[in-house]
Amino acid sequence: MPIERVFQGTIDHLQILDKDGNVDTNLEPKLPNELLDKMYRLMVLGRLWDKKCIALQRTGRMYTYPPLEGQEAVTVGATLALGNEDWFIPSYRESFGYYIRGLPLDIINLGWMGVEEGLKLDKKAKSFPYAIPIGTQHTHATGVAYALKLKGERSAVLVCGGDGSTSEGDFHDALNFAGVFQVPCVFLIVNNQWAISVPRKSQTKSETIAQKALGYGFKAIQVDGNDILAVYNTVKEALENARSGSGPFLIEAVTYRIGAHTTADDPKKYRSEEEVNFWRDRDPIKRLKVYLAKKGVWNEDYEAKVNAEAVKIIDDAVQKAETYKQEPKNMFNFLYAKMTKDLENQMKECFEA
Which amino acids are annotated catalytic? 257, 261, 270
Contacts with ligand TPP, 85-104, as mask; x by CB under 6 A = --------x-----------
Task: Taking the CA atoms of 97, 60, 260 and 282 in sequence, report the sign of the dihedral they define.
Answer: positive
How far apart are CB 194 and Mg ion at their closest, in Å? 5
Which residues between 130 and 169 bind Mg ion (CB under 5 A)?
162-164
Binding of ligand TPP by 162 (CB under 6 A): yes
Q: Which residues contact 174 (CB under 8 A, 6 or more apart)?
A: 138, 139, 141, 142, 187
Q: Which of 9, 133, 169, 328 touches ligand TPP (CB under 6 A)?
A: 133
User: 196 is in the binding site of which of Mg ion, ligand TPP, none (Cβ under 5 to 8 A by kind)?
Assistant: ligand TPP
By beta-carbon proximity to ligand TPP, the closer residue of 196 and 297 is: 196
* Residue 226 binding ligand TPP, by CB under 6 A: no
- Identify what 282 binds: Mg ion, ligand TPP, none; CB under 5 to 8 Å per kind: none
| Exposed/middle/buried for residue 61 (C-beta within 10 Å: 0-12, 13-18, 19+) | middle
Stretch near Mg ion under the rule CB under 5 A, chosen from 24-32, 125-133, 192-200, 339-347: 192-200
Residue 65's alpha-carbon distances to 4, 284, 285, 334, in angstroms, are 52, 21, 22, 21
Q: Name which of 157 and 195 has its Cβ closer to ligand TPP.
A: 195
Q: Which does 261 bind (CB under 5 to 8 A by kind): ligand TPP, Mg ion, none?
A: ligand TPP
Q: With CB under 6 A, what is the number of residues at the site for ligand TPP?
A: 14
CB 74, min distance to ligand TPP, A: 10
Cα separation, 34 vs 64, whole angstroms: 35
* 212 counts as binding ligand TPP under rule CB under 6 A: no
Q: Which is nearer to ligand TPP, 160 or 310 (CB)?
A: 160
Give the nearest residue (CB) to ligand TPP. 162
Cβ-count burial of 296 within 10 angstroms (0-12 exposed, 13-18 middle, 19+ buried)? exposed
HSE-CB for 243 with a 13 A CA cutoff: 17
Pick the closer one to ligand TPP by CB: 117 or 168.
168
Q: Which is nearer to ligand TPP, 132 or 350 (CB)?
A: 132
Chain residues binding ligand TPP by CB under 6 A are 93, 132-134, 162-165, 192, 194-196, 257, 261
